[in-house]
Amino acid sequence: DVKVTQSSRYLVKRTGEKVFLECVQDMDHENMFWYRQDPGLGLRLIYFSYDVKMKEKGDIPEGYSVSREKKERFSLILESASTNQTSMYLCASSVGGEGNQPQHFGDGTRLSIL
């Protein structure tokens, strides 16, 4: 079974802090994704990566950056946290290709910015 592990289930940070959310997958997947989920808005893509050191902006990349130094690890960075970044963050991975393979999700990190 694919395992996608997010480093924290709950996290509380202060405005202006630099925040790191970590995600690790154990199935050698090429593609990795970061989403945020807000009530009534579904999952929105922040960034994705299709290979080590490769990254692409999703639909809402402002205020975020990512890092993929190793194939199994994809980090989301909030450069200077703001209260509007309070949300549920989900990481996912999938086999390489153009989208006919399912994505496998972590349990999510509920992030609160005070």
Partner 1 sequence: ILNVEQSPQSLHVQEGDSTNFTCSFPSSNFYALHWYRWETAKSPEALFVMTLNGDEKKKGQISATLNTKEGYSYLYIKGSQPEDSATYLCAFTGGTSYGKLTFGQGTILTVHP
Residue of the chain from 65, 70, 102, 114 that contacts partner 1 (CB under 8 A): 102
Among the listed residues 10, 40, 62, 69, the single contact to partner 1 using CB under 8 A: 40
| Whole-angstrom distance, CA of residue 82 vs CA of residue 102 | 32
In the complex, least distance from residue 98 CB atom to partner 1, rounded to whole angstroms = 6
**Would you say 29 or 113 has its CB closer to partner 1?**
29
Helices and strands (DSSP H and E) totals, the chain: 0, 11
Residues 6+ away with beta carbon under 8 Å from 8:
21, 109
Q: What is the largest CA-CA distance in the chain?
A: 39
| 4 makes contact with partner 1 (CB under 8 A) | yes
Binding region for partner 1 (CB under 8 A): 4, 31, 33, 35, 40-45, 48, 50, 56, 58-59, 90, 92, 94-108
